[in-house]
């Protein structure tokens, strides 16, 4: 079932969706991402910062955006270290080898990519290669994200 035409936003709160008659099962459909318990994001949406921020402000009317987020929204120049794409480092232990966890990891990886993050996955084989190996993997991801050493 497609989302209603009167819900044109790429991201929205559950409250807004429910006010338009969407049921719980529809709000858990695979065409929606769940970046937060009360927020949904269209899976095919462009990761535009303003669209990603708006539902949080709807949920918390007294909240405001500040620091790097506000500067990016207003197109202000940022210091070089803040100009790069966000990068996350994850350690995947042995439990990540189970089929169920691999499925959850796959969905997490898709969301991470869709939200514009560079992801570095470290496992016990990387750690066994030593600190220089792990640092090299992280460094490559940071450089891909725009960081200049």
58-89 per-position pLDDT tens digit = 888 788 888 888 888 898 888 776 777 778 88
Contact criterion met (CB below 8 Å) for 73 and 65: yes
User: What confidence score (pLDDT) does residue 13 get?
Assistant: 92
Reference 57, options 76, 78, 77, 73; nearest CA is 73
Predicted confidence (pLDDT) at residue 105 exceeds the cutoff of 80: yes
Task: Inform me whether the pLDDT recorded for 5 exceeds 80.
Answer: yes
Tell me how far apart the alpha carbons of residues 109 and 144 are, in angstroms, rounded to a whole number: 17
pTM here is: 0.55
């Amino acid at each position: 079932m497609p989302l209603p035409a009167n819900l044109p936003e790429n991201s929205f709160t559950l409250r807004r969706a429910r006010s338009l008659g969407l049921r719980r099962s529809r709000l858990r459909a695979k065409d929606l991402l769940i970046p937060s318990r009360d927020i949904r994001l269209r899976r095919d949406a462009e990761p535009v910062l303003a669209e990603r921020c708006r539902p949080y402000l709807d949920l918390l009317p007294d909240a405001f955006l500040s620091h790097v987020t506000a500067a990016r929204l207003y197109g202000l120049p940022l210091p070089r270290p803040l100009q790069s794409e966000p990068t996350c480092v994850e350690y995947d232990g042995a439990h990540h080898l189970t089929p169920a966890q691999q499925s959850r990891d796959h969905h997490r990886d898709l969301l991470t990519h869709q939200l514009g993050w560079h992801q570095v996955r470290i496992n016990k084989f990387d750690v066994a290669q030593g600190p220089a190996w792990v640092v090299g993997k992280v460094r490559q991801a940071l450089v891909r994200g725009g960081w200049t050493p």
